[in-house]
Structure 1
Amino acid sequence: MSSLLTNSTAMTALQTLRSVSSQLSTTQNRISTGQRVSTASDNAAYWSIATSMRSDNAALAAVSDSLGLSAATVDTEYTALTTAIGDSTSGLTKLQALLVEAKTAGVDRTKIQADITQIQQQLKSTAGAATFNGINWLSIDTSSSSTATPTSFNLVSSYSRVGGTPTIGSITVTTANYALYTTGGATKTGILDTVTGTGSTAASVDTIAIGALTDSAADQTTLDGYIKQVTTAINSVASAAANLGAVKNRLSTNTEFVQSLMDSVDRGIGQLVDADMNKESTRLAALQVQQQLGVQALSIANNSSQSILSLFR
């Protein structure tokens, strides 16, 4: 039946055209954003998960930055400790060799003391220079003032979230384990400024003086005590350096893991919300053809009512 009031063919064509236009708009949005889920209305569950994962990734990025800062700090302290140990020409190793040389009968110990003094000054300079971002673990302030060095530092190492509960992992570093020199306290407690011995022979590695010693048995015993003291200091500094080396390796491993984890999270987010561009480009071409055909179909349906006029001619 032909009707002027109801054109069912045109209504069907219009409905089809609207559907195709809606799908075309969705496809164009996916192509322009690169995402098939860009808003909560696209897929509420996937959008919520992706938003949370992006938040976690931002936290992991902050952890990565913190790991970089921590690694730089540890590397600075580690370098200073290994420099303090030294070798045959510098540091505690050279100091030990000089004290052994001083055991030789008839040797001019005042000249040896000149070398020892220079090494002592260099050790203190090395410890004082081991500062990164205002942090120094080798020369610390043990006073009770507000400027005192904290007894420990927490180095951020990881981040995780189970449900709504975030967990921050950290590596705790105790500064007293690495202190070569201390200031502000009632007594010196650093590896190189702790006084050992009694009476006139009481000294720290930092204050050892042999210029006035002779070949007497008592002075030879004093030299033996100094050699033992420096040997103990070498072992303590080496232990501290080994500890920091382990921390350094752990930070390096964590840095690589966090970077890999961030990449994994990015891939996970992509699986949830990224659009398949091959699929969308193919769909776009098909919808554009369907839209053109829909326009043609609607035009034909609208023109069919014109044939009614011929009945009244």
Structure 2
Amino acid sequence: MKVIEIKSPGAAEVLVPAERDMPQAGSGEVVIKVFAAGVNRPDIVQREGRYPPPPGASDIPGLEVAGEVFAVGADVNRFSVGDKVCALVTGGGYAAYCRAPEASTLPMPKGYSFVQAAALPETFFTVWSNLFDRAGLKAGETLLVHGGSSGIGSVAIQLAKAFGAGVITTVGNEEKAAFCRGLGADTVINYQTEDFAERVREVTDGAGVNVVLDMVGGDYIPKNIECMAADGRHVSIAFLRGPAVDLNMLPVMLKRLTLTGSTLRARDNEFKGAIAKALFAQVWPLLEDGTVSPQVDMVFPLADAAAAHARMEESMHRGKIMLEVGHD
């Protein structure tokens, strides 16, 4: 089968087409004939040699796919050959066929294309797990999410609004600001021209936000803490500015803040399966009635995965960057 390999750690051009043997379905697994796959920031970090796959995972990049079930392993009960599905995987997504755990595989929402469905797993699993399970965001609370025009940000805005929370987000230009307003963000802050902590205090009348979903890290973390409400929850899911931070813990103590974070890729199938069940019950209906939708920026052929990575590294995208996989 055709795949995209990482020839050696480096820039986008190290992604090269190659041929591999077909994956085989193990117990509790399906093999998906892939028609579309998502491109995510962890793929770039893996390509650079800074995020090795967990033990047992494919070295082929790609964490989410959509397609048709091609084969099923022992103990698979929910899916049959030919079913249209999307799946969160630990690797192997940039390929014509991909092995996936049944636990983190979901039916494609009704009316969805393969590209739309492949844009769901990584961002929706991540946002649900961190925003609702870990941070406990509730109706009536206010969320601050950085990078609102990213795949994660665009999902966080929509889900927070769908479940009754207010949303403040940060962006780097007016085009991204307009995009986030279109998704329902209540306040959009251009971090190039405004101090986001000051603006958050202003729009919340000094009360601050209840939850921060942060993908930036570094010097953003102290500023996030500045604009958090009492009993607020701060969730770190990435560190574009690095994980090291010089932090005054006194506000954390005085405001009774919770600082937490997580990664998803290395978690076990039981953990991911619980997220999948929650998404199917609570979010899939919103996808099917149009309340929430994946935002697709650009679609590249699988062979042009290097160009897709370059697009993400330019940071000009709004929503998800996708790969389309053709079959002869």
TM-score surpassing 0.5?
Answer: no
Structure 1 or 2: more strand by fraction: 2
Question: If the length of structure 1 is used for normalisation, what is the TM-score?
Answer: 0.22
Higher helix share: 1
Structure 2 length normalisation: TM-score? Answer: 0.22
Larger Rg: 1
